[in-house]
Amino acid sequence: MEENDIKIEVKDLSLIFGKKKSQALKMLEQGLGKTEILKKTKCTVGVNKANLQIKTGEIFVIMGLSGSGKSTLLRCLNRLISPTAGDVIVNNVNITKEDNKALLETRRTEMSMVFQKFALLPHRTILENAAFGLEIRGEEKEARLKVAQEALESVGLKGFENQLPSQLSGGMQQRVGLARALANDPEVLLMDEAFSALDPLIKSDMQDELIELQEKVKKTIVFITHDLDEAIKLGDRIAIMKDGVIEQVGTAEDILKNPASDYVKAFVEKVDRKAIITAGSLMFEKPKIVTLEKDGPESVLRKIRESAFEVLPVINKNKVFEGFIWLPEVIKAKKQNATSISDFITRTCPSVYPDVTVEEMLPLITNTKSPIAVVDENNGRLLGVVTQTSLVIESTRFNKEEIVELKEQAREQ
Amino acid sequence: MEKIINIGEYIELAVDWLTENFAPLFDLIKNVGNTSIEGIEWLLISTPFYIIIALIGLLALYKAGRGVAAFTVIGLGLIFLMGFWEETMESMALILFSTVIALIQALPLGIWAAKNDRVERIIRPILDLMQTMPAFVYLIPAVLFFSIGKLPGAFATVIFAMPPAVRLTSLGIKQVPADLKEAARAFGATNKQILFKVELPLALNTILAGVNQTIMMALSMVVIAGMIAAGGLGERVLEGINNLDIGLGFESGLAVVILAIVLDRITQALGQAKKEKNFSVSKIFKRK
């Protein structure tokens, strides 16, 4: 088989939810839109005449916002949802026309799926979970546990075999999900928002590992995501979906440079996260705070020590933001035996409302070391604090180690 | 007051028709049933009391902990000392038999109801009726079909005790997260595989809660069934009432209470032994 053989072909696939399917399908063929069809037949168009050719051995990403029909389309590939019209051809076999038995066989041997919420069986150990697909297929216990063990090792979960899913973190649980899919040794992996439920750092690790793993196993992977960054990182080719329609298919480069429609363009423009991430989403909520009327130098000093920061925000008794207090100032206050820290607060410091974007915040930190206070627009109360580090991470997309390196370089100069 | 609609008459006609036309069938059921109940009774009574107490005590110790085990041994010992051992074992036999028969019907019915909304809609009012109808009422058809004795007692008990098991089985299976079922289907599981490998194991705790309820309701009904000569503690309670014998009434009532607590704590513990696992598990499903 050649590298570029077509593994999965989707031809004119439509999926309609509702009672008057045939009527809706006719209207769809006449070229009527989703909203019109909904109005006239009360049917929802999930997927609208999708055509795709997925090549052997590639990671094919289908990207779209929620409700775009991407997960529905994925479920048509192994017929967890049967399409209303059109064909899905896998390895030259038309899945849509297969009888129940052949379909089960296809799911058992050719395609495995990885789920957003892991979908591990809570009453079974990690090893038994990884062997689940083989068990369904009817493999002998010893044989399937051996294969499952190897699959777990390949995703770096050696030593966790006898634990229960609840004892593992989200990232590790998804590794089990991946191992379960790999244990079946399918030709096609269907991954439904597989990393969306993980926190960003782990998500990034898992993406790297998937790429690494793919170099070894060379599966055909269909990956669903709503995250363009993820699509660009993983996808050999990307399809962008909106309202059940595939708007564009191409490499990341194609899509970024020549967006086929306004929708894709809007999407791609949003990749510039600086313009969309706001102070409100970036800030540390409930930081350690100093209350002006309550805390003297001694207790401020203790709070600073506990917080491991050298600066803390100060509020007054009405919770209105006053300024920042720095460690050297507190020490000075203590030496002078001051009763209040009022005179030692730095009151000229950057503060923003929660809806200010990263891009707008960047100029604020050029001439100061100070963190940025996020305050309520109406009453000036302190909502949280954005540190310079997190701001730089967000705007440069460097990871933490790189930032630390950059900082050290800056200090040496 | 004068009757305008006579539902009772129709019910009477239906029951008469059944007794007339299915008499051989009822006889067969009665014979098989009575033999089974007497078999269990024989087993429980001919086994020395200390062995039974030890076995139940060990089960309690293993599943429900030391406290329950101690209560079991002391409580059952007290029953023996009060001289109610045979009656208690008779009641126990009737409870065991009725519970098994009730579960044999309730589990498949509950599974069916969970899978099929129409079945659920039909079953629900029937279950309501079975559960809320005063328990004594079941004794009448039971006697008409099977005359008096142990089997009619079991018949009434089964009807009365079955609903919670059906309901909780259905509930347990419906509560299995859809994404787990979808995952099984994506790996090529048949409906049967999904039922046995995913749905039933995950519904087990809820189903066991239903079993516990069924046993408790069976116990309460077994006492009432004493009125139709089903034997056991119920008959002693009745004797106490009839003779206004406060001593006998209290003692036999106490035996019922002890039996109830022992059965309840042990069967409840069966469900909870696994609950711990599932408790933390339910947290994962909520994690996003």
Helix (H) or strand (E) holding A265: helix A262-269
In this model, does residue A407 exceed pLDDT 70?
no
From the list B186, B278, B285, the residue facing A113 with the nearest CB is B186
CA distance B247 to B250: 5
Q: Do A119 and B185 touch (CB under 8 A)?
A: no
List the single best residue of B180, B187, B276 to mutate versus A (max A Cβ within 10 A): B187
In this model, does residue A2 exceed pLDDT 50?
no
Local structure of B169: helix, strand or coil: helix
CA distance B112 to A50: 38
For residue A347, the 8-state DSSP code is -
Min mean pLDDT across A209-213, A301-305, B162-166 is at: A301-305
The answer to whether residue A17 neighbours chain B at the CB level (below 8 Å) is: no
CA distance A198 to A63: 18
As annotated, the residues of chain A forming the CATH 3.10.580.10 domain(s) are: 279-412
According to the model, what pLDDT value does residue A136 have? Answer: 94
Compute the half-sphere exposure of residue A231: CA atoms within 13 Å on the CB side of its CA: 28
For residue A345, the 8-state DSSP code is -
Helix (H) or strand (E) holding A382: strand A382-386
Q: Which two tokens stand for residue B14?
A: 């239906």
Nearest residue to B153 via CA among B103, B96, B83: B96
For residue B3, the 8-state DSSP code is -
List the single best residue of A72, A112, A123, A172 to mutate versus B (max B Cβ within 10 A): A123
Q: Do A135 and B197 touch (CB under 8 A)?
A: yes
From the list B177, B190, B282, the residue facing A104 with the nearest CB is B190
CA distance A327 to A312: 8
Stretch A146-169: mean pLDDT: 91
- pLDDT > 90: what percent of chain B? 67
According to the model, what pLDDT value does residue B276 have? Answer: 47
Could you read off the pLDDT of B35-90 as tens digits, one per residue? 999 999 999 999 999 999 999 999 999 888 889 999 999 999 999 999 999 999 99
Fold of A279-412: CBS-domain (3.10.580)
CA distance A285 to A386: 9
In this model, does residue B283 exceed pLDDT 60?
no
* Burial (Cβ within 10 Å: 0-12, 13-18, ≥19) of residue A409: exposed
Q: Do A132 and B184 touch (CB under 8 A)?
A: yes
Q: Which residue reads 């406290």 in tokens?
A: B67
ipTM, two decimals, is 0.75
Please name the residue of chain A whose CA is at the shortest distance from the CA of residue B281.
A166
CA A406 vs CA A309, A335, A401, B178: distances in Å: 19, 35, 9, 48
Please name the residue of chain A whose CA is at the shortest distance from the CA of residue B202.
A123
CA distance B93 to B101: 12
pTM of the model: 0.71
Measure A70 CA to nearest chain B CA, in Å. 17
User: What DSSP string runs through B221-268?
Assistant: HHHHGGGGT--SHHHHHHHHHHTT-HHHHHHHHHHHHHHHHHHHHHHH
Q: Do A107 and B197 touch (CB under 8 A)?
A: no
From the list B188, B278, B282, the residue facing A107 with the nearest CB is B188
Whichever domain contains B92, its CATH number is: 1.10.3720.10
CA distance A176 to A161: 10
Is there a contact between B188 and B68 (Cβ–Cβ < 8 Å)? no
According to the model, what pLDDT value does residue B287 have? Answer: 38
CA distance B233 to B85: 9
Comparing B32 with A296, the larger pLDDT belongs to B32
With cut-offs at 50, 70 and 90, classify the pLDDT of residue B160: very high
End-to-end CA, chain A: 57
The answer to whether residue A118 neighbours chain B at the CB level (below 8 Å) is: yes
In this model, does residue B280 exceed pLDDT 60?
no
Could you read off the pLDDT of B87-99 as tens digits, one per residue? 999 999 999 999 9
Q: Is residue B2 part of a domain?
A: no
The domain of B278 spans: 7-286
In this model, does residue B1 exceed pLDDT 80?
no
Q: Do A113 and B183 touch (CB under 8 A)?
A: yes
As annotated, the residues of chain A forming the CATH 3.40.50.300 domain(s) are: 56-85+92-272
Stretch A131-155: mean pLDDT: 93
According to the model, what pLDDT value does residue B216 have? Answer: 93
List the single best residue of A124, A136, A173 to mutate versus B (max B Cβ within 10 A): A136
In this model, does residue B279 exceed pLDDT 60?
no
Q: Which residue reads 């009904």 in tokens?
A: B221
Helix (H) or strand (E) holding A325: strand A321-326
According to the model, what pLDDT value does residue A17 have? Answer: 87
With cut-offs at 50, 70 and 90, classify the pLDDT of residue A164: very high
* Residue B33, phi then psi, degrees to nearest 5: -60, -50
Fold of A56-85+92-272: Rossmann fold (3.40.50)
Is there a contact between A313 and A373 (Cβ–Cβ < 8 Å)? yes
CA A347 vs CA A297, A322, A327: distances in Å: 17, 7, 15
According to the model, what pLDDT value does residue A384 have? Answer: 86
With cut-offs at 50, 70 and 90, classify the pLDDT of residue A174: very high
CA distance B200 to B46: 37
Helix (H) or strand (E) holding A332: helix A327-335
Could you read off the pLDDT of A275-326 as tens digits, one per residue? 556 777 778 777 788 888 888 888 888 888 877 678 888 888 888 888 888 8
CA B276 vs CA A121, B152, B204, B281: distances in Å: 15, 40, 13, 9
Local structure of A55: helix, strand or coil: strand
According to the model, what pLDDT value does residue A346 have? Answer: 84
Q: Provide the domain count of chain B.
A: 1
| Dihedral (CA of B81, B85, B91, B95) sign | positive
According to the model, what pLDDT value does residue B248 have? Answer: 92
Q: Is residue B1 part of a domain?
A: no
* Residue B178, phi then psi, degrees to nearest 5: -60, -30
Which residues of B sit within 8 Å Cβ distance of A? 177, 179-180, 182-190, 193, 197-198, 201-202, 274, 277-278, 280-285, 287-288
Residues of A in contact with B172 (CB under 8 A): none
Q: Do B188 and A123 touch (CB under 8 A)?
A: no
For chain A, positions 299-358, list CB contacts with chain B under 8 A: none
Sheet strands side by side (includes A59-63): A111-114, A188-192, A220-225, A59-63, A237-242, A245-250
Q: Do A133 and B201 touch (CB under 8 A)?
A: no
